[in-house]
Structure 1
Amino acid sequence: MKAIEITTKTQLEQALTLRTTVFVHEQNVPAEVEIDAYDTLGEGTTHILVLNSDEAVGTGRFRMKNGAGKVERVCVAKSARGQGVGNIIMETIEQLARDKGYNTLKLHAQMHAKPFYEKLGYVATSEEFIEENIPHIEMTKELH
């Protein structure tokens, strides 16, 4: 498996297809909310794709928001869960964020994923809240 920074429309389409499968079909997030204005190339958002051969098995993105990197839309294909894909996505995001001069990353973790992010060094910075009918918590990590 390898992680890449998305640079082509085809790669972005692979990521959006995977996100639609996970968030819209599995978690019932409305499609019109899932795909948004930050799903473009070269507009200040960095997109990541994890490939197993040519199959997209993981994706995520980050962008600058309120002085910190905001990690968003992290997901793993059902067929690849439990194989370290989430770690690959987050390690890649963190390295690219460091390379771009980010000092802090923030994210809204679904509550079931909170332990995963805690193992990566993220700390809860909010109470539980609901986003798209799913319980979330804000988490932050200082990059060194």
Structure 2
Amino acid sequence: MLDHDNDALVLENWLKNKTPENFCSWIANTENLSLVAATQTGIVGFAMATSSGHIRLCYVMQEALFQGVGKALLAALEEMLSASGLRTLTLESTLTARPFYERNGFVKAGDPVRRMSLMATPMVKHL
């Protein structure tokens, strides 16, 4: 994978904060908007943004990639945030996710930064 180059330590550091307890606290935080995509077989995606317009994450299960799940989650977040009056969305994208965000209207907004041992590119979208 582009992001961790099959380096177990890099992947471990990236996943360190993605515990069930942390996800529960992120979802419970009233400053976050959380969305789940599900099919009859279970959850296939999850997205989260802050109420100030920062997309924190948009994850899609491997078997649901390229089926419109991520695009639908992102569009729903954009609609909710736009309805609250926001006109600008931001995020920090991994190398793997960057083409997805670019296809959905985000553009590079700065030099890459290191986040949780991965390189991330700041991106922005004006609604």
TM-score band, normalised by shorter chain: 0.7 to 0.9
Between the aligned partners of 1:70 and 1:112, the Cα distance in structure 2 is 19
Is it true that 1:53 corresponds to 2:23 in the alignment?
Answer: no
Between the aligned partners of 1:95 and 1:30, the Cα distance in structure 2 is 29
Between the aligned partners of 2:86 and 2:73, the Cα distance in structure 1 is 17
What code does the residue aligned with 2:89 have?
A: L
> In the alignment, which of 97, 101, 106 is matched to residue 113 of structure 1?
97
Q: State the number of aligned residues.
A: 112
Q: TM-score when scaled to structure 1?
A: 0.70
Residue number in structure 2 paired with 1:63: 50
Deviation at 1:89, TM superposition (A): 1.0
CA deviations over 1:11-53 (Å, ceiling 9, x no partner)? xxxxxxxxxxxxxxxx43244x232653315x12110111112
Is it true that 1:102 corresponds to 2:89 in the alignment?
Answer: no
Q: Identity of counterpart residues, as a percentage?
A: 21
Deviation at 1:62, TM superposition (A): 0.8
Runs of 4+, deviation exceeding 3 Å? none
Between the aligned partners of 2:47 and 2:58, the Cα distance in structure 1 is 4
Mind listing any 5+ residue stretches in structure 2 that lack a counterpart? Answer: 1-10
2:96 is paired with a residue whose SS is helix
Is it true that 1:139 corresponds to 2:123 in the alignment?
Answer: yes
Residue number in structure 1 paired with 2:111: 127
Q: TM-score when scaled to structure 2?
A: 0.79
Between the aligned partners of 2:26 and 2:110, the Cα distance in structure 1 is 24
For CA contacts below 8 A with separation 6 or more, give which structure has more relative contact order.
Answer: 2
What code does the residue aligned with 1:63 have?
A: T
RMSD value, Cα: 1.7
CA deviations over 1:39-91 (Å, ceiling 9, x no partner)? 315x1211011111251101111113xxx400012100112112121111111
Between the aligned partners of 1:54 and 1:115, the Cα distance in structure 2 is 28
Mind listing any 5+ residue stretches in structure 1 that lack a counterpart? Answer: 1-26
